[in-house]
Amino acid sequence: MVNDMPKTTTFLILGASGDLTSRLLLPALGQLLEREPDRQIVLHGAGSDAWSSRRWKDAVRDAFTSADAEDMLDRVADTTYTQADITKADDLKKLLDRAEGRLVMYFAVPPAVTVAACEAMQKLTLPDDTVLALEKPFGGDEAGARALNATLTTLVPEKSIFRVDHFLGRSTLLNILGVRFANRLIEPVWSADHVESVLVRYDESLALEGRARYYDKAGAMVDMIQSHLLQVLAVLAMEEPVDLDEIDLRDAKSAALRATHIWDDNPVRHSRRARYTAGTIDGRQLPSYVDEEGVDPARETETIAEIVCEVRTSRWAGVPFTLRKRQGAGREDR
């Protein structure tokens, strides 16, 4: 995404005070700077929380350190944090006016906020060659995703829009591509003739970790299964793409997903939801999900979710693909 950019780039993170930024985005940025020895960035964060400049700089330093990239802090020419309502054009304009060089805007915010921010941007003139990177979930449903796509194309060209699922960058998932298409022993037996069932499981030793504002409206099904784990299923089940560029890989995954259905077309029987009760994780005593700060028990939001699917292609017909996400402490409260 950055190879053709000027040596100085402004990286503006919208939703900078959120968990995604500190746990995944900032560490990845430090690693990226290690691979781009001539790159220098100006790093700006914007969020709804009233963070001080010191708290933001500490968060950046801690994140870079966690990725063994603390030396890369010298490559950050400047870094600031601004409390802002990014759904308001005036607040966005103040952020845009501070950009130096090429601007990359990373949306690490819930989909409803992304939509409102993009609509507000239509009232502004973005700097030339602005790049928009949007973290999943992308819209709240198919109609919302299509509407968001239409809005984005009024802001920047399609080539400057990056729809990001950070799960796809995990080494385990990238290794699957190598095993599938570069291993002559594995690929011939990668089918229903030799595979009885497939389990895609992701267990996290995390509780809510202060994410109630987003998570309690999403839950494990929306947060993980309909995005991350379906992407893994697509990589496992797709036919070999002509190339691993963004177009051929996307088309191969899309074909696999179009062939994917709930097992027996019965979502009641072949899905389940639950949530964690009080318990201990790594020596920490944690409350049940319904007692976490910011949670509305009436929503009945799940932290454990599972669906069983079938990929109805000649390669995979008859093989159950189980997608399961579990997090938190204690037992499962159904």
- Provide the pLDDT confidence category of residue 328 given band limits of 50, 70 and 90: confident
Mark 261-285 as b/e (b = at least 16 C-beta within 10 Å). Answer: eebeeeeeebbebbbbbbeebeeee
Task: Write the DSSP assignment of 75-99 as a string of letters.
Answer: GEEEEEEEE--TTSHHHHHHHHTT-
Mean pLDDT of 189-199: 97
User: Domains in the chain and their CATH numbers?
Assistant: 8-164 (3.40.50.720), 168-333 (3.30.360.10)
pLDDT single digits (tens) 217-242: 889 998 899 889 999 999 999 999 99
What is the predicted pLDDT for the residue at 139?
85
Mean pLDDT of 41-68: 96
Mean pLDDT of 72-94: 96
Residue 52 above 90 pLDDT? yes
Residue 330 above 70 pLDDT? no
Residue 329 above 70 pLDDT? no
Q: Which of 44, 166, 194, 228 is catalytic?
A: 228
Look at 98-102, 182-186, 190-194, 279-283 and tell me which has the smallest mean pLDDT. Answer: 279-283
What is the predicted pLDDT for the residue at 2?
44
What is the predicted pLDDT for the residue at 281?
82
Contacts of 263 (CB under 8 A, 6+ apart): 270, 308, 309, 310, 320
pTM: predicted TM-score of the whole model, two decimal places: 0.81
Catalytic annotation on 228?
yes
pLDDT single digits (tens) 92-150: 999 999 998 999 999 999 889 999 999 999 999 999 999 999 988 888 888 999 999 99
Residue 258 above 80 pLDDT? yes
What is the predicted pLDDT for the residue at 298?
94
Closest CA to 225 of 313, 137, 141: 137
Task: State percent of the chain over pLDDT 90.
Answer: 71
Handedness of CA 111, 113, 115, 117 (dihedral sign): negative
Closest CA to 244 of 157, 173, 156, 145: 173
**Pairing between β-strand 8-14 and β-strand 40-47 as defined by DSSP bridges:** parallel
Residues composing the chain = 334
Residue 3 above 70 pLDDT? no
pLDDT single digits (tens) 274-307: 999 998 888 888 899 999 999 999 999 999 999 9
Mean pLDDT of 259-282: 93
Are the C-beta atoms of 104 and 12 separated by less than 8 Å? yes
Closest CA to 303 of 331, 282, 322, 284: 331
Are the C-beta atoms of 18 and 114 separated by less than 8 Å? no
